[in-house]
Every structure is written in structure tokens, then in C-alpha cells.
């Protein structure tokens, strides 16, 4: 057995990790815009990246390194270093050449696509780093773009023998969030004594039901990155405990991204059951979380269950009118051919949709497959934010 409790200090919660954020002049008004994560001993690294074929220079650079260990991650906001070709990779090499005291330093970026890195500002900004600092909240703020709040979490896991390890994380993401990661960066640190192979295996597994299960607008970014670093400092490990704690960390951050969806006012869980397979349930859930018609109905707090039914049918999975069941929280509006949607039920459902969090459930009635996806509404503010993103 084991015990998992909330901890403090975000990405600095695990022993031997340090982080901070500074202003390098990339953003206006001296806002924090560069961060680092440092470990005083080498780390194994597991990773998950975007499925977008136009993946950015930092991802290309990371993949070119092959199998390696590191102790330093440099992160900048405001510039994605994407669609910059070989020059973008060369820029990373030049920037990281100023980290000569670090072991295989790596870089991650987020921001506007199609512009070269402001290398001079970044290199000068790095001179402001104090690697002995533990300011995880500053680091979490520095990586934000259109986020309205920073996102961080830490957990401590105590095992039966009294040994313990910690997992800490920070993330950014609010737009270009799609069920294939997101315009998101997530950095997870741990002192658990876990092998790289097992760490990668667990990260891949957990990503499927967390970061790959969320949607704000259906767009997949060029820079999506999840990095998991372990320095093994604690000497403690239990696979089941590590998997559960990592899920809790990533699930929390995934829902925070949806809650912070650009202009979003609702966080909605799409709970699909009774599908022919888990994969078909996943297809339905993600089709619903991506649907613009569904999203706008959520924003208008309109319990238009017909849009739900139509989207289920359009998803391409096995589904039948006479077997489908649709509910808003515990209010069943359509039950396998029977319509329960009178004026009184409509009022009750509208109240549910007025909540900041609720669940839309669809039982397809054809099998045992299930999946949960997470999405938000789409309103006027999303257009305003993205129309002016570069300015």
C-alpha cells in the first residue's frame, strides 16, 4: 500500500530540483517570459510530443540527441521557434552553447509561429538565472501565453516501508487545445528511482486519458511537449503508486487547461459508455468535445440534446437511435427511443448547463466500451483573443 498527499513547491517539490522565472523582455511590461528547471544531478528523461507534422525546432532538436540524460531545461514564451527550418535548430544550439556547465541542456518554446528566436534577449536573460533558486511559481508564470492563470501541482507518495518520493509539475495551455495534446507545455519532475523505460511506458499510458482527452478548439499545435525528468534521488519507487500519482498530476493539469480555455465559462466531461469498444467510445467523446455546434450550445446554456445525438451519429461509430441514451448530469433527456424532454425537463437541464462544471453522458447501448473526454464552451472572447494574438 501507499499514501499520496498534496505537497508544495511545484516542480521543485522533488529533492534536488530548482526552478525560477525571469523577464528577458520577450513580453511587454516586464512580464515573466523565461524559465529554467535544474537538477543538481543527472536525470533520465521521458517525453511525449505533438502529432502535428509541422513540429517545432525544439522538438526536432530534442529528437536529434538520441538517448541522453540532462540536468537543465530552458523554456521561453512569446516565440514558438516553429516553421523556422534548420535556422531554428541552429538558433537553439547557439543559445544552449551558453549553458556549458549543464549536462545536455534542452530547450522548449511556446508562442507565435514563424519567427526566429530573439537570441540576444534570451542569452542575456539567461545571465539573470540563479540556478540555486526555488521559485516554481515564477517559472510557471513565465511559460504562460494566453493563459489567465498559472498551473502547477505537487504530490508526495509515502510507501509502506516509510520511504517516499515526490512528483511536481507545471504546465501552460489555454488555446489550440485538441485531443492529441494541445498548445501546451508540461514539465514534470520526480525523485522516484524509476527506469527510463518504465517512466516512458507509464507516461505514454497516462497521456491517453489526460492530455490526449482534452479539447478547447480542436486545433493541434506545433510545440506540444510533455517532459518527465527523474533524478532518482529518493531511492524509492513503486510502479502502481507512481502511475497513480502521475495520473493525478497530469489529470489535474489537463482539466486546468480546459478550465482556462480561451474565453471558456464551462468545464464539461463527456462520459461515453456502452460503445462497441473503448476506441469507439474515445472517438465519440472526442467528436463531442470538438464539435463547434455543441460548444456554442454550451456557451448559450441551451440543452439542445439533438446536437449531442447528431454528433454521436456523425462520429462514424456503431450507434443506433433506439439504443442511445443521453443525460445532462443525472437528468436523462433521451432514453433509447423515448423522449423525456418536456418544458419542465428543459428548465432543469438549463440549470445544469448554468454550472461551471457538469457532465454530458451518452450510453450507446451496443457494448462495454467507455471513455471520458473533457472540453469547454466556445464564446465571443475566444474570437477576440485569437484575432489579436500576434498583436
Q: What average pLDDT does range 162-190 have in this prediction? A: 80
pLDDT of amino acid 386: 58
**At a CB cut-off of 8 Å and minimum separation 6, what does 129 contact?**
20, 22, 36
Express as a percent the part of the chain with pLDDT over 90. 79
**At a CB cut-off of 8 Å and minimum separation 6, what does 286 contact?**
179, 213, 215, 373
Asked whether the beta carbons of 58 and 109 are under 8 A apart, the reply is: yes
Kindly name the residue from 70, 183, 273, 287 that is annotated as catalytic. Answer: 183
pLDDT of amino acid 100: 86
Q: Is the pLDDT of residue 36 over 50?
A: yes
| Strands laid side by side in the 331-335 sheet | 214-215, 369-376, 267-275, 357-363, 325-328, 331-335, 338-339
The pLDDT confidence band at residue 21, using thresholds 50, 70 and 90, is: very high
Q: How many other CB atoms are there within 10 angstroms of residue 369's CB atom?
A: 21
Q: Is the pLDDT of residue 143 over 90?
A: yes
Q: Is the pLDDT of residue 199 over 80?
A: yes
Nearest CA-CA partner of 52 in 221, 189, 210: 221
Q: Is the pLDDT of residue 381 over 70?
A: no
Q: What average pLDDT does range 342-347 have in this prediction? A: 95
84 an active-site residue?
no
Q: What is the pLDDT of residues 238-272, one digit of tens each?
A: 999 999 999 999 999 999 988 876 667 888 999 99
The pLDDT confidence band at residue 112, using thresholds 50, 70 and 90, is: confident
pLDDT of amino acid 365: 98
Instruction: Report CA torsion sign: 256, 234, 132, 43.
Output: negative
Q: What is the pTM of this model?
A: 0.87
Q: What average pLDDT does range 124-145 have in this prediction? A: 97
Q: Give me the chain's average pLDDT, please.
A: 92
The pLDDT confidence band at residue 136, using thresholds 50, 70 and 90, is: very high
Q: What is the pLDDT of residues 216-233, one digit of tens each?
A: 545 567 888 999 999 999
Q: Is the pLDDT of residue 390 over 60?
A: no
Q: Give the N- to C-terminal CA distance of the chain in Å, as an integer.
A: 53
pLDDT of amino acid 377: 85
Beta bridge partners, 76, equal: 34, 109
The pLDDT confidence band at residue 327, using thresholds 50, 70 and 90, is: very high
How far apart CA 356 and CA 264 sit, in angstroms, is 10
Q: Is the pLDDT of residue 182 over 90?
A: no
Helix %, strand %, coil % for the chain, to 5? 35, 30, 40
Q: Is the pLDDT of residue 134 over 80?
A: yes
How far apart CA 256 and CA 383 sit, in angstroms, is 20
Amino acid at each position: 500500500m501507499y499514501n499520496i498527499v498534496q505537497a508544495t513547491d511545484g516542480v521543485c517539490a522533488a529533492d534536488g530540483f530548482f526552478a525560477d522565472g525571469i523577464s528577458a523582455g520577450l513580453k511587454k511590461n516586464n512580464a515573466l517570459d523565461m524559465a529554467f528547471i535544474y537538477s543538481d544531478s543527472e536525470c533520465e528523461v521521458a517525453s511525449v510530443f505533438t502529432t502535428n507534422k509541422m513540429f517545432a525546432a525544439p522538438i526536432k532538436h530534442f529528437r536529434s540527441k538520441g538517448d541522453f540524460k540532462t540536468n537543465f531545461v530552458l523554456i521561453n514564451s512569446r516565440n514558438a521557434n516553429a516553421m523556422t527550418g534548420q535556422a531554428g535548430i541552429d538558433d537553439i544550439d547557439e543559445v544552449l552553447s551558453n549553458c556549458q556547465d549543464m549536462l545536455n541542456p534542452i530547450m522548449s518554446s511556446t508562442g507565435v509561429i514563424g519567427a526566429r528566436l530573439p537570441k540576444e534577449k534570451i542569452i542575456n536573460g539567461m545571465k539573470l538565472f540563479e540556478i540555486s533558486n526555488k521559485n516554481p511559481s515564477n517559472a510557471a508564470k513565465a511559460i504562460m501565453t494566453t493563459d489567465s492563470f498559472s498551473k502547477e501541482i505537487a504530490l508526495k507518495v509515502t510507501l509502506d516501508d516509510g520511504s517516499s518520493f515526490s512528483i511536481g509539475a507545471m504546465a501552460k495551455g489555454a488555446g489550440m487545445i485538441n485531443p492529441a495534446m494541445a498548445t501546451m507545455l508540461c514539465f514534470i519532475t520526480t525523485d522516484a528511482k524509476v527506469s527510463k523505460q518504465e517512466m516512458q511506458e507509464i507516461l505514454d499510458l497516462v497521456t491517453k486519458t489526460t492530455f490526449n482527452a482534452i479539447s478547447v478548439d480542436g486545433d493541434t499545435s506545433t510545440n506540444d511537449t510533455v517532459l518527465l525528468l527523474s533524478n532518482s534521488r529518493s531511492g524509492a519507487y513503486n510502479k502502481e503508486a507512481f502511475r497513480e500519482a502521475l495520473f493525478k498530476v497530469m489529470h489535474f493539469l489537463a482539466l486546468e487547461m480546459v478550465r482556462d480555455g480561451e474565453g471558456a465559462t464551462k468545464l464539461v466531461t463527456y462520459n461515453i459508455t456502452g460503445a462497441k469498444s473503448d476506441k469507439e467510445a474515445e472517438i465519440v467523446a472526442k467528436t463531442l468535445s470538438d464539435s463547434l455546434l455543441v460548444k456554442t450550445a454550451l456557451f448559450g446554456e441551451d440543452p439542445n440534446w439533438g446536437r449531442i445525438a447528431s454528433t454521436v451519429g456523425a462520429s462514424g461509430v456503431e450507434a443506433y437511435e433506439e439504443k442511445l441514451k443521453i443525460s445532462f448530469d443525472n437528468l436523462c433527456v433521451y432514453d433509447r427511443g423515448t423522449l423525456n424532454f418536456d418544458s419542465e425537463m428543459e428548465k432543469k437541464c438549463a440549470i445544469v448547463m448554468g454550472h461551471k462544471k457538469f457532465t454530458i453522458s451518452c450510453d450507446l447501448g451496443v457494448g462495454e466500451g467507455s471513455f471520458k473526454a473533457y472540453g469547454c464552451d466556445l464564446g465571443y472572447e475566444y474570437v477576440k483573443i485569437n484575432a489579436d494574438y500576434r498583436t
